[in-house]
């Protein structure tokens, strides 16, 4: 009984992380049924990955900016601007891709430095600076492109958007073996890492995760990885952009968890005054965060341009909203200090599956936007609701730990029911929308 | 002649775990200026909140009679209807609205829901004349000085036909000229029949305006001194304020004091917004190896302002003066400079300035010296956990593990996390600002033991505290501050609560 209570108590404390994962699964299952199985067909899974890659790249930088307590509304325009710059460099000036890509990332860094300067050193709120940036860089995009798209791009650059790793079996096998090797190897590495970390936590007596939960969670992630591997391998193999994304996720997760820079970012978002009084150079950290955001926005712009094989005046429009939504659905806190790269990726996938699933169903952007908006509102509303409940509805921290002593039993029974609103309203909206036509 | 206007009898107010007021009696006569005196945290402001209805009548015990009628206020507006108006230390004015709008905020002069601007500005101008403020009523509040804003607050009180005006430390934020003007106004209003209660610990002010003084100590009313009986003297007031018993326990220590570690010379700091105010005047002090030095002072004396301006200029503007460490001048212009020179400052407000409450213990402990745990920018988390566990044990931080969130710890344990953070940065000088504020008695003793141990390890420790017995219990030497001036330096052997309070209330020449 006490063991059960303990593990239920643990799940309650991790309600948000569990909830977001369950929500993703429910949404996938829902669309799998609604689309008669099209959603999880190998070709569509590959599309899903490639289509969402640039939003996910942006979401990495965005969640970092949000953790520090800022926001960036300009990333869509920056992505569009860099797309235009790459068009001029590669198509008009004939630069080789291996010069043009670093050059574009450098331009992105300069753009980020421009915004970071105003935010960190002048002290203008990020909301204002990046709102201005949204207009400035959209304007520069139009000027650079002279209002016309630039196309076509050479195959080397297009590979960044739509290319795949080479098929080592020469197309003879049903499964693409390089993908299988990468997928199985990656899964093994994740399992190994998870077990190692658990061992370290246990050694230092920090372990509070019940064994059963750890096994289920890790097993599930492994299963998920393997099934994606299988689906990708039975189509055309591993998209190059997926490799790029995987490297970014690994590097940035490590950066946020283990580097001084990452830890200072959390400290600034958690309590700016305490961070300052602890000698953290808050302005320098903020400045670097925006430089980093600029580089990632540039990369997203390149991937997007490569995928469309054209630099377009309207390229990147609305990306900022999708990436901000991804970060918040993924558990980042509006006040800063809380959030993870992995969470933002799950949040981005939820948005991606919604987009993709609704497109397959032939829903117009009108309903797509309506539903995505509701999902974002519910996800963050659920967070606030959850926090208020556990702190007794008050704002004072004193109340928060007073409530700690209330018996968990009453609260536990409520949890699973409250777990659902994230996913269900999306589903119900969905059904009613389908019945209309 | 002495007609009572207000009688408070047997007022007892408890907060969870604390008796803020205990059987307090207060008698105020019609037409007098009645001062309330007491140390920081004695319960003065709580008593005034009880009187003005900030605390509803059913949340405390005791009776209040105003003009011989019982009062049971539930909100401030109930007390205002009876003519009792309180002006808080933090002014409640809206900076972007005009003087007139502020005066009638909440009581707008309106006809059918539409504001009558002509009447508003006209009436406001009349009130401004009464308080002696020559400003246009349409001037936005933010464009007039704090002293004038205080007068606007009083004009606002007059607009409510005030009979009893309560002023909570009205001159704390004012310069001398504005203070004098305000005190004159209080006497002027007295001539017009307005009774005032003024909370203050500035003895010169009290001597100037008060007809009676009630002294509050540890939530109890000690005595009421009356001018017409010749009782209002500095000695009587000080004796009443400090007669506190030294019951708490302090760890035994035999100080071994070495060379001078830190010396501050001619330190002067201006208020960050109000440039007419100098918060710290030419302060000089030093601290030696293995020594615990106390900084005593009443509210507004400039203790925290002094400490924070030294620690990376985190307070004030136009900071001037010199800081020496081991006899060599150093710069502490940024927090990281100060930390690099081995200075640590543990704030009086741990929730807002000391801790990241949403993070766990180990990450808070490592926050000020993360580089010590890192190689090439990457943090060794195992080392971090080991370090945090070491402090959890040595400081006796009560938590299930170092992965516990600091926001969920008790005040005492939070304070230990803050101290651990600074000890890990390995400073030579620790400035501890109110290290035992909001902590229960048991944890206080633990904090004292830690301070004694730090000194025994050869650290130089500066303790800022509002509790004189605490300073007497743990310090080797005590500086007193009053209105930004260092007014005394007392070796512990000569220090008593009375002698310290003398210096703390001393006025400048």
**Can you tell me the distance from the alpha carbon of B68 to that of B27, in angstroms, rounded to the nearest whole number?**
12
A250 touches chain B (CB under 8 A): no
Cβ partners under 8 Å of residue B74, min gap 6: B53, B56, B57, B58
Bridge-partner residues for B28, per DSSP? Answer: B6
What residues contact residue A281 under an 8 Å CB cut-off, 6+ apart? A264, B336
CA–CA separation, A161 vs B264, rounded Å?
Answer: 63
A-chain residues near B407 (CB < 8 A):
397, 400-401
Distance from CA of B349 to the nearest CA of A (A): 10
Q: What pLDDT is recorded for position B478?
A: 95
pLDDT in the model for residue A281: 94
The whole-angstrom separation of Cα B217 and Cα B219 is 5
Once rounded to an integer, what is the mean pLDDT over residues A337-359?
92
- Dist CA B126 CA A247 (whole Å): 73
Question: Which of the pair, A57 or A397, is modelled with greater confidence?
Answer: A57
- The per-residue pLDDT for A347 is 93
Q: Which residue of B has its CA nearest to A405?
A: B408
CA atoms within 13 A on the CB side of A102: 3
Q: Residue A416's pLDDT is what?
A: 33
- Give the integer Cα–Cα distance in Å for B144 and B150: 10
Strand order in the sheet with B485-491: B343-346, B429-433, B460-465, B292-297, B477-482, B485-491
Q: Which residues contact B235 (CB under 8 A, 6 or more apart)?
A: none
- As beta bridge partners, residue B486 has B481
Rounded distance between C-alpha atoms, residue B322 and residue B263, angstroms: 8
Contact B402 A264 (CB under 8 A): no
Residue A395 has pLDDT above 50, yes or no: no
**Contact between B85 and B166 (Cβ < 8 Å):** yes
Residue with tokens 């009375």: B498
More confident residue, A173 or B149: B149
Specify the 3-state DSSP secondary structure of B477. strand
Can you state the angle between helices A211-233 and A2-13, rounded to 10 degrees?
Answer: 50
Residue B220, SS3? strand
More confident residue, A7 or B324: B324
Beta-carbon separation of B311 and A264 below 8 A: no
Are B145 and B171 within 8 A, CB to CB? no
- CB burial string B465-476: b at 16+ within 10 A, e below: bbbbbbbbbbbb
Q: Is A397 close to B351, i.e. CB distance below 8 A? A: yes
Q: Is the pLDDT of residue A261 over 60?
A: yes
What pLDDT does residue B245 have? 54
**pLDDT of res. A419:** 32
At A352, the pLDDT band (50, 70, 90 cuts) reads very high
Chain A residues within an 8 Å CB radius of B334: 279
Contacts with B401 from chain A: Cβ below 8 Å: 205-206, 208
Q: Which residues pair with A164 in a beta bridge?
A: A239
pLDDT per position as a tens digit, A47-92: 898 999 999 999 999 999 999 999 999 999 999 999 999 999 999 9
pLDDT of A423 above 60? no
Give tens-digit pLDDT for A107-153. Answer: 999 999 999 999 999 999 999 999 999 999 999 999 999 999 998 99
pLDDT attached to residue B168: 87
A positions 316-375 inside 8 Å of B (CB)? 337-338
Torsion of the alpha carbons at B377, B380, B384 and B390, rounded to the nearest 10: -130
* pLDDT tens-digit series, residues A211-252: 888 888 889 889 988 998 998 888 888 899 999 999 999 999
How many Cβ contacts (< 8 angstroms) between chains A and B? 99
Q: Is A258–B378 a contact, with Cβ atoms under 8 angstroms apart?
A: yes
Looking at residue A392, its pLDDT comes to 40
Task: Tell me which long-range contacts B384-391 makes (C-beta under 8 A, separation of at least 24).
Answer: B385/A204, B385/A206, B386/A204, B387/B362, B387/B424, B388/B361, B388/B362, B388/B420, B389/A204, B391/B365, B391/B416, B391/B420, B391/B423, B391/B424
Collect all residues of chain B within an 8 Å Cβ-Cβ radius of residue A271: 352-353, 355-357
Looking at residue A408, what is its pLDDT? 32
* Cα-trace Rg, chain A: 22
pLDDT at residue number A2: 59
CA distance A154 to A306: 9
Determine, for residues A274 and B311 on separate chains, whether the beta-carbon distance falls below 8 Å.
no
Q: Nearest C-alpha of chain A: how many angstroms from B65?
A: 34
A279/B370 Cβ within 8 A: no
Does pLDDT of A398 surpass 50? no
What's the mean pLDDT in A192-213? 83
Q: How far is CA B32 from CA B28, B187, B303, in A?
A: 7, 9, 33
Distance from CA of A223 to the nearest CA of B (A): 29
| Contact between chains at A206 and B345 (C-beta distance less than 8 A) | no
For A200, the 3-state DSSP assignment is helix
Nearest CB to B358; choose among A208, A261, A270 = A270
pLDDT in tens, chain B (509 residues): 578 899 999 999 887 666 788 899 999 999 999 999 887 777 888 898 899 888 888 888 888 999 888 888 888 888 888 899 998 877 788 889 999 999 998 888 888 889 999 999 999 999 999 888 888 999 999 888 888 888 999 999 899 888 999 998 888 777 777 888 889 999 999 988 899 999 887 777 888 899 999 988 888 888 888 888 888 887 788 878 776 555 557 888 888 899 999 999 999 999 887 777 888 999 999 999 999 999 998 877 889 999 999 998 888 888 899 999 999 999 999 999 999 999 999 998 888 899 999 999 999 999 999 999 999 999 998 899 999 999 999 998 988 889 889 988 888 889 999 999 999 999 999 999 999 887 776 788 889 999 999 999 999 999 998 888 889 999 999 999 988 899 999 999 999 888 998 898 887 54
User: Are residues A318 and A355 in contact, defined by beta-carbon separation less than 8 angstroms?
Assistant: no
Q: State how far the Cα of B144 lies from the Cα of B135, in Å rounded to an integer.
A: 9
Q: Does A396 touch chain B (CB under 8 A)?
A: no
Q: Residue A352 and residue B247: Cα distance in Å, rounded? A: 67
Could you give the C-alpha distances from B483 to A79, B90, B432, in angstroms and in order? 57, 18, 20
Residue carrying structure tokens 């633990």: B446
Q: Are the Cβ atoms of B371 and A260 closer than 8 angstroms? A: yes
- Residue-level pLDDT at A10: 67
pLDDT band (50, 70, 90) for residue A158: very high
pLDDT of the residue at A379 = 84
The answer to whether the Cβ–Cβ distance between B359 and A337 falls below 8 Å is yes
User: Which residues, at least 6 apart from A414, have a Cβ–Cβ distance to it below 8 Å?
Assistant: none
Predicted pLDDT at A7: 65
**B431 to chain A: which residues are within 8 Å by CB?**
none
Minimal-distance CA residue of chain A relative to B404: A206
Residue of A10, A69, A268, A279 to mutate, testing the B interface (most B Cβ within 10 Å of its Cβ):
A279
Buried/exposed A346-377: b ≥16 CB within 10 Å, e otherwise: bbbbbbbbbbbbbebbebeeebbeebbeebbe
Question: Minimal Cα–Cα distance from B483 to chain A, Å?
Answer: 25
β-sheet bridge partners, residue B506: none
Phi and psi angles of residue B5, each rounded to the nearest 5 degrees, phi first: -105, -30
pLDDT computed for residue B505 by the predictor: 84
Asked if B353 lies within 8 A of A274 by C-beta distance, the reply is yes
At residue B248, the pLDDT reads 59
* Residue B3 confidence (pLDDT): 85
pTM, rounded to two decimals: 0.81
pLDDT number for residue A11 = 67
Q: Cβ B353–A397 below 8 Å, yes or no? A: no
Say whether B297 sits in a helix, a strand or coil: strand
Q: What is the pLDDT of residues A377-388, one digit of tens each?
A: 988 888 777 776
pLDDT at residue number A172: 67
pLDDT of residue B229: 83
B355 vs A261, A263, A274: nearest CB: A274
- pLDDT given at position B317: 84
Predicted local confidence at residue B1, as pLDDT: 54
Chain B residues touching residue A397 (CB < 8 angstroms): 351, 357, 407
Q: In chain B, what is the straight-line distance between the N-terminal and C-terminal CA atoms, in Å? A: 37
How many angstroms separate the CA of residue A69 from the nearest CA in chain B?
A: 13
Q: Which of B335, B377, B386 sits opposite A277 (nearest CB)?
A: B335
Q: Is B177 exposed, middle or buried (0-12, 13-18, 19+ CB in 10 A)?
A: exposed
Mean pLDDT of chain A: 84
Res A176: pLDDT: 82
Closest residue of chain B to A200, computed from CA coordinates? B382
pLDDT of residue A401: 33
A406 interfaces chain B, CB cutoff of 8 Å: no
Say if the Cβ atoms of B357 and A261 lie within 8 Å. no
Do the chains contact at B381 and A258, CB–CB below 8 Å? Answer: yes
Establish if A266 touches chain B: CB-CB under 8 angstroms.
Answer: yes
SS3 B26: strand
Strands (E), B118-199: 164-168, 195-199
In B, minimum Cα distance to A337 occurs at: B358
CA distances for A398 relative to A284, A405, B363, B405, angstroms: 33, 12, 21, 13
CB contact under 8 A, B379 and A263: yes
- Find which of B356, B402, B411, B423 to mutate to test the A interface (most A CBs within 10 Å of its CB): B356
């Amino acid at each position: 009984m006490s063991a059960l209570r303990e593990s239920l108590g643990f799940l309650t404390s991790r309600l948000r992380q569990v909830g977001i994962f369950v929500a993703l699964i429910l949404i996938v299952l829902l669309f799998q049924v609604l689309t008669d199985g099209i959603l999880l067909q190998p070709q569509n899974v590959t599309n899903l990955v490639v289509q969402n890659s640039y939003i996910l790249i942006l979401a990495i930088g965005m969640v970092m900016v949000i953790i520090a307590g800022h926001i960036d509304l300009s990333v869509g325009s920056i992505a569009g601007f860099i797309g235009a710059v790459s068009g001029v460099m590669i198509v008009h000036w004939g630069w080789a891709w291996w010069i043009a890509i670093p050059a574009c990332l450098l331009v992105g860094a300069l753009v980020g430095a421009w915004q970071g300067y105003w935010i960190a050193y002048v002290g203008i709120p990020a909301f204002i600076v990046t709102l201005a940036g949204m207009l400035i860089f959209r304007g520069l995009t139009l000027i650079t492109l002279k209002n016309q798209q630039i196309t076509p791009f050479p195959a080397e650059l297009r590979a960044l958007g739509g290319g795949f790793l080479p098929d080592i079996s020469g197309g003879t096998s049903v499964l693409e073996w390089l993908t299988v090797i990468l997928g199985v190897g990656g899964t093994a590495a994740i399992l190994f890492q998870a077990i190692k970390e658990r061992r370290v936590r246990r050694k230092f007596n920090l372990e509070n995760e019940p064994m059963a939960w750890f096994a289920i969670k890790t097993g599930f992630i492994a299963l998920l990885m393997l099934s994606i591997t299988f689906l990708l391998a039975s189509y055309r193999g591993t998209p190059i952009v997926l490799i790029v994304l995987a490297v970014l996720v690994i590097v940035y997760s490590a950066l946020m968890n283990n580097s001084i820079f990452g830890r200072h970012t959390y400290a600034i978002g958690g309590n700016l005054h305490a961070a300052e009084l602890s000698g953290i150079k808050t302005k320098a950290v903020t400045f670097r965060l925006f430089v980093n955001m600029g580089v990632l926005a540039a990369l997203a712009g390149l991937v997007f341009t490569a995928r469309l094989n054209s630099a377009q005046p309207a390229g990147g429009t609305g990306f900022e909203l999708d990436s901000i939504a991804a970060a918040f659905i993924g558990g980042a806190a509006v006040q800063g200090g809380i959030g993870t790269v992995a969470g933002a990726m799950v949040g981005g996938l939820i948005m991606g599956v919604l987009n993709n699933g609704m497109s397959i169903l032939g829903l117009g952007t009108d309903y797509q936007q309506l539903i995505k908006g509701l999902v974002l509102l519910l996800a963050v509303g659920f967070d606030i609701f959850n926090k208020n409940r556990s702190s007794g509805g008050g704002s004072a921290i004193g109340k928060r730990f007073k409530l700690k002593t209330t018996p968990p039993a009453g609260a536990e029974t409520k949890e699973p029911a409250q777990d659902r609103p994230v996913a269900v309203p999306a589903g119900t909206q969905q059904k009613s929308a389908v019945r209309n036509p | 002649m002495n007609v009572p206007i207000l009688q408070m009898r047997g007022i007892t107010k408890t907060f969870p775990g604390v008796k803020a007021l205990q059987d307090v009696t207060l008698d105020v006569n019609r037409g007098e200026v009645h001062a309330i005196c007491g140390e920081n945290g004695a319960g003065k402001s709580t008593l005034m909140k009880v009187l003005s209805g900030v605390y509803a009548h059913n949340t405390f015990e005791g009776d209040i009679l105003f003009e011989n009628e019982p009062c049971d206020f539930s909100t401030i507006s109930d007390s205002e209807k009876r003519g009792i108006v309180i002006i808080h230390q933090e002014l409640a004015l809206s900076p972007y609205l005009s003087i007139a709008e502020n005066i009638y905020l909440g009581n707008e002069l309106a006809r059918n829901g539409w504001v009558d601007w002509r009447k508003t500005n006209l009436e406001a101008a009349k009130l401004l004349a009464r308080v002696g403020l020559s400003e246009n009523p349409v001037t936005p509040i933010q464009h007039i000085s704090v002293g004038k804003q205080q007068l606007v607050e009083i004009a606002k009180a007059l607009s409510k036909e005030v009979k009893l005006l309560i002023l909570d430390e009205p001159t704390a934020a004012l310069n001398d000229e504005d203070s004098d003007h305000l005190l004159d106004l209080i006497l002027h209003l007295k001539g017009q029949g307005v009774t005032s209660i003024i909370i203050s610990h500035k003895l010169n002010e009290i001597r100037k305006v008060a007809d009676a003084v009630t002294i509050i100590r540890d939530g109890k009313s000690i005595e009421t001194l009356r001018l017409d009986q010749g009782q209002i003297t500095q000695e009587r007031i000080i004796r009443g304020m400090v007669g506190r018993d030294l019951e708490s326990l302090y760890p035994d220590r035999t100080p071994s004091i070495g060379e001078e570690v830190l010396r501050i010379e001619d330190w002067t700091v201006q208020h960050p917004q109000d440039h007419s105010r100098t918060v710290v005047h030419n302060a000089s002090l030093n601290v030696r190896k293995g020594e615990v030095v106390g900084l005593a002072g009443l509210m507004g004396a400039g203790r925290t302002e002094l400490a924070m301006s030294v620690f990376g200029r985190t307070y004030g503007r136009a900071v001037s003066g010199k800081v020496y460490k081991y006899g060599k001048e150093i710069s502490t212009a940024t927090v990281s400079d100060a930390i690099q020179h081995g200075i640590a400052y543990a704030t009086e407000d741990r929730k807002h300035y000391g801790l990241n409450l949403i993070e766990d213990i180990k990450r808070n402990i490592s926050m000020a010296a993360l580089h010590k745990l890192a190689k090439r920018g990457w943090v060794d988390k195992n080392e971090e956990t080991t370090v945090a566990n070491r402090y959890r044990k040595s400081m006796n931080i009560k938590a299930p593990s170092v992965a516990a969130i600091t926001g969920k710890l008790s005040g005492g344990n939070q304070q230990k996390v803050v101290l651990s953070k600074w000890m890990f940065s390995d400073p030579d000088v620790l400035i501890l600002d109110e290290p035992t504020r909001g902590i229960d008695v048991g944890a206080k003793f633990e904090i004292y033991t830690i301070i004694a141990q730090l000194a025994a390890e050869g650290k130089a420790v500066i303790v800022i505290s509002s509790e004189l017995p605490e300073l007497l219990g743990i310090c080797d030497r005590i500086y007193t501050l009053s209105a930004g001036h260092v007014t005394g330096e007392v070796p512990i052997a000569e220090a008593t609560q009375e002698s310290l309070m003398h210096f703390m209330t001393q006025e400048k020449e």
